Every structure is written in structure tokens, then in C-alpha cells.
Amino acid sequence: MRPRTALCKKVLLNWVISNLHNSSNKLTELVCTGRMAQVRELETELEAEQHRHLDSQKSQRKQDRRLQELILQLDEGQKSQDRLKDALDKLQQKNKQYKRQVEEAVSRHHSSFSHSDILLADPSYRSMQCDRLLLL
């Protein structure tokens, strides 16, 4: 019975080894299949992330262009404001000059009259002078 038991054990061991080998192959296949699914999923995520990155870069370039446009508009507005301020300053200087000229002309005009001319031009002063002459 020994040879038969040894043969049974050998057959049983071969069967176990074969089953283990098949199980190992199936496990390896499952692991590889699972890994491949993960790889495909990661590739899909990578593509989506690259697409989002490209969209972000495009948006950033657009915003940079808009910012440059706004900076140029601001510079132009500042230059325009400076020109207007210079023109206003010149007009204010001319206005002051004209006021001084008018005041000088009025002053010259008033100084051309003597004090007595001004008094004679005043009706109340003339009436007092006439009254004084009549009393003499």
C-alpha cells in the first residue's frame, strides 16, 4: 500500500500545484487587469487635467492682454489729465494777468481824476459849495 499512497500523494500534490499555478495566473491576470484599469483611469484624469491646464493658460493670456489694455488706457488718461491740468494752469495765469491789467486800468483811470474833480462830480458837494457862495 505504500506505493499506492505515495502515488496518491504525488497525484494530489500535482493537482494542488496545478491549482495553485492556475490560481496564481488568475491572480496575476486580475492584478494586471486591475492595474490596467487604474492606468487607463489615470490617463483619462491626466488628459482632463492637461485640458484644464491649457484652458487656464488661454484664460491667463486673455487676462494679461486685457490688463495691458487697461494699463495703456490708464497711461493715456493720465497723459490727457496732465495736458488738461497744464491748460487749466495757463488759463488761470492768463485770468490773473487780465485781472491785474483791469485793476491797473481802473487805478489809472481813478488817479487821472483829482480829488476836487471827484468832489465836484458829487451833487451834494456841489450844492454845499453853491450854498456857501450864496451866503457870502
pLDDT by residue (tens digit) across 24-35? 777 777 777 777
pLDDT at 90: 96
Alpha-carbon distances, residue 31 vs 25, 34, 70 (angstroms): 10, 5, 57
For residue 112, what pLDDT band results from cuts at 50, 70 and 90? low
Burial class for 119, CB neighbours closer than 10 Å (0-12, 13-18, 19+): middle
Is the model's pLDDT at 105 over the cut of 80?
Answer: yes
Q: Is the dihedral of CA 102, 104, 110, 112 positive or negative?
A: negative
pTM: 0.46
Quote the number of domains for the chain.
1
pLDDT by residue (tens digit) across 4-54? 677 777 777 788 788 778 777 777 777 777 777 787 888 899 899 999 999
Residue-range definition of the domain harbouring residue 41: 2-135
Question: 41-45, 56-60, 117-121, 128-132 — which is least confidently predicted?
Answer: 117-121
DSSP 8-state code for residue 114? -
pLDDT by residue (tens digit) across 88-98? 999 999 999 99
Long-range contact pairs involving 100-103 (C-beta distance under 8 Å, separation at least 24)? none
CA distance 111 to 105: 10
